[in-house]
Amino acid sequence: GAVVSQHPSWVICKSGTSVKIECRSLDFQATTMFWYRQFPKQSLMLMATSNEGSKATYEQGVEKDKFLINHASLTLSTLTVTSAHPEDSSFYICSASNFLLGYTFGSGTRLTVV
Amino acid sequence: AQKVTQAQTEISVVEKEDVTLDCVYETRDTTYYLFWYKQPPSGELVFLIRRNSFDEQNEISGRYSWNFQKSTSSFNFTITASQVVDSAVYFCALSEAWTTDSWGKFQFGAGTQVVVTP
C-alpha cells in the first residue's frame, strides 16, 4: 500500500525559532497533500491543502505567514512553523493523496515549543 | 457544510465487555465516504474502515462491526469482547468532496477515548 513518511516524529524547539516538518510519499505521486493539527485531547483539524506546484489553501483561522507550506514536488510537502511559540505546541499530521491511487496519513510530528 | 459528531468523550469498560461508539454526520452531498480511525497513544492514525454513501450494508471484521444507517445519518462502531489493546482514541471522519483536489480531505469528529481495563 501507499506509504507516507513524516519527519521528524517529534521535535522540541525554543520559542522564536522555526521548525520544518517533512511529508514524503514514498511509493506514489501525491498530487495533493493535507496538513492537520491536533491539540492535546482534541480532534484533528485541517490546516491547509496543498497541490504540487501551487500555493497552499489555508483554512479559516490558520495564519499562512506563520505556517508556511511548500509542495514543490509530487512526493514532498513541507510545513514550516515560523517563530514558534508555546501555543504552537501540537501534533501535526500530513496526508498525501492521489485521486486514482488513494490517500495515506503520515505518522505525525509532535512539536513542543519551550 | 459537513459535520461529524461523536457525543461520547470517553467510554470505560472492563475487558470482554462490548463497547459501541456513536457517530452522527451532516452533509449536503449525496456522495460521500465515512471512516473510522484508531489513534493509539503513539499518535498515528490506524485505518479501520471506509464506507461509501451508497453502501448501507453492515460490516463485520473480527471483533469490529459497523452499522451504517443513512436514515439517521449515523455510522456506529462496535467492539465486541473488548481487550486492553483496544484502548485508544477512535475518530469517525467524513470525506465528501469528489474533486481531484479534495480527495483525501477529511472532517473528523471529536473522538472517543476508549479505556479498557483488565
Using one digit for the tens of pLDDT, what is the confidence trace for B49-75?
999 899 888 889 999 999 999 999 999
CA geometry: angle at A91 spanning B6 and B96, to 5°? 45
Mean pLDDT of B17-40: 95
Nearest residue, CB atoms, B104 vs list A32, A43, A110: A32
DSSP A94: E
Query: How large a percentage of chain B has pLDDT more than 90?
Result: 81
Name the grid cell of B33.
465516504
Q: Residues of A numbered 20-59 whose beta carbons fall under 8 angstroms of chain B's beta carbons: which are they? A: 31-32, 34, 36, 42-46, 49, 51
Q: Does A5 touch chain B (CB under 8 A)?
A: no
Tell me the pLDDT of chain A averaged across its residues.
93
Nearest CA in chain A to B92: A43
- Residue A101: the pLDDT is 74
How many pairs of residues across A and B have Cβ atoms under 8 Å apart? 53
Per-residue pLDDT in tens (0 to 9) along chain A, 114 residues: 678 999 999 999 999 999 999 999 998 888 899 999 999 999 999 999 998 888 899 999 999 999 999 998 999 999 999 999 999 999 999 999 887 777 899 999 999 999
Q: pLDDT at position B66, please?
A: 96
Do the Cβ atoms of A108 and B103 come within 8 Å?
A: no
pLDDT at residue A31, as a whole number? 86
Mutate which: A23, A33, A38, vs B, most B CBs within 10 A: A38
Model pLDDT for residues B81-104, shown as the tens digit of each residue: 999 999 999 999 999 866 666 677
pLDDT of residue B100: 61
A96 touches chain B (CB under 8 A): yes
Look at residue B39 in the predicted model and tell me its pLDDT. 97
pLDDT number for residue B35: 94
8-state DSSP, B80: S
What average pLDDT does range B42-48 have in this prediction?
Answer: 94
* pLDDT score of B40: 95
Determine contact, residues A45/B106, Cβ cutoff 8 Å. no
Q: C-alpha cell of A97?
A: 493523496
- Contact call for B108 and A102, based on CB within 8 A: no
Q: Is residue B77 packed enough to be buried (19+ CB in 10 Å), middle (13-18) or exposed (0-12)?
A: buried
Interface membership of A102 toward B (CB under 8 Å): yes
pLDDT of residue A9: 97
**B interface test, pick of A104, A105, A109 with most B CB neighbours within 10 Å:** A105
DSSP letters for B37-54: EEE-TT---EEEEEEETT
**How would you class A27 by CB atoms within 10 Å of its CB: exposed for 0-12, middle for 13-18, buried for 19 or more?**
exposed
Using one digit for the tens of pLDDT, what is the confidence trace for A23-52?
999 988 888 999 999 999 999 999 999 988
User: Using an 8 Å Cβ cutoff, are A4 and A94 in contact?
Assistant: yes
Question: In chain B, what residues touch A45 (CB-CB under 8 Å)?
Answer: 108
